[in-house]
Amino acid sequence: MIQNAGTTFYGKLTHTVFSVDSIIDNAIIISAKRFMNEKFGNKYSHIPPHLSYALVPFPINNLEKAKIEIISYIKKLRPYTVEFSELKYGERNNIFFIEVLSNEIPRLHQEITNLLNVYRDDSIRTKDLERVDSGYFTEQELMYLKKYGYSRVFDCYKPHISIGNFTVPDVDVNELTETLKQLLSGLYNKRTIVNNIHVSFHTDADNQSDMKVIWEDTILLK
């Protein structure tokens, strides 16, 4: 049992995470991410464009069992089509992202989250427990955090592809938004086929460039 700021969690802290996503190899998005890195210190520039389905705090002792089940599940999947929507800026997390539309994404998110949650053993990330102290989470997010170890699941899950953030001072967000919209204009309302699932077990870190991959695999959908 963990207690923090009057909130009780039944489980244990972990510094390892299981993540599942699809790599989106798109030249327009890659170019926009590179622009953010060169001009605004984007800390996500080293991460390939991807569509995330699940991020689950995970104990390393359950890795082998989870690997078998998640790979078996993925091998039954088929390629599917997504549509790129519009650019948005999340002020809360200081991140620009492209919304992605498909009926398949919420289904995959739900099934993968439930599959991995069986092996989570009520683990929670240290940085999320620290966020509880600051009142960062809404009541619904806090409920999901307790039950699934992550706040952005189900109703709080928004399919997207991150473009990046800024780490330099005095940025005019409105001006930067318009610049990114122009860079990404060839993407809007276009479709692409998702033909892979990437799974990764890695350490957690405040800066994603500091994460250490323990195991990963990319499975092509057929």
Number of domains in the chain: 1
Domain membership of residue 3 (yes or no) is no
Domain of residue 100: give its range.
Answer: 20-220
Tell me the average pLDDT of the chain.
91
Domain membership of residue 8 (yes or no) is no
Q: Is 44 or 87 the better-scoring residue by pLDDT? A: 87
3-class secondary structure, 43: coil
Domain membership of residue 121 (yes or no) is yes
Q: How far apart are CA 17 and CA 95, in angstroms?
A: 21
CB 144 within 8 A of CB 157: no
Per-residue pLDDT of 152-197, as tens digits, reads 999 999 999 999 989 889 999 999 999 999 999 999 999 999 999 9
Tell me the average pLDDT across 29-49. 84
Task: Report pLDDT for 55.
Answer: 96
For residue 161, which of 93, 85, 212, 214 has the smallest C-alpha distance? 85
Domain membership of residue 127 (yes or no) is yes
Q: What is the pTM of this model?
A: 0.91
Per-residue pLDDT of 112-145, as tens digits, reads 999 999 999 999 998 888 888 788 999 999 999 9
Task: Report pLDDT for 42.
Answer: 66
Domain membership of residue 96 (yes or no) is yes
Domain membership of residue 6 (yes or no) is no
Domain membership of residue 135 (yes or no) is yes
Interhelix angle 173-183/27-40, nearest 10 degrees = 150
What residues pair up with 21 in beta bridges, in sequence order?
52, 198
Domain CATH for 113: 3.90.1140.10
Domain membership of residue 163 (yes or no) is yes
- Kind of pairing, strands 12-14 and 123-125? parallel
Show the beta-strand stretches assigned E in the chain: 2-4, 7-9, 12-14, 16-23, 50-57, 80-90, 95-101, 123-125, 160-164, 191-194, 196-203, 213-220
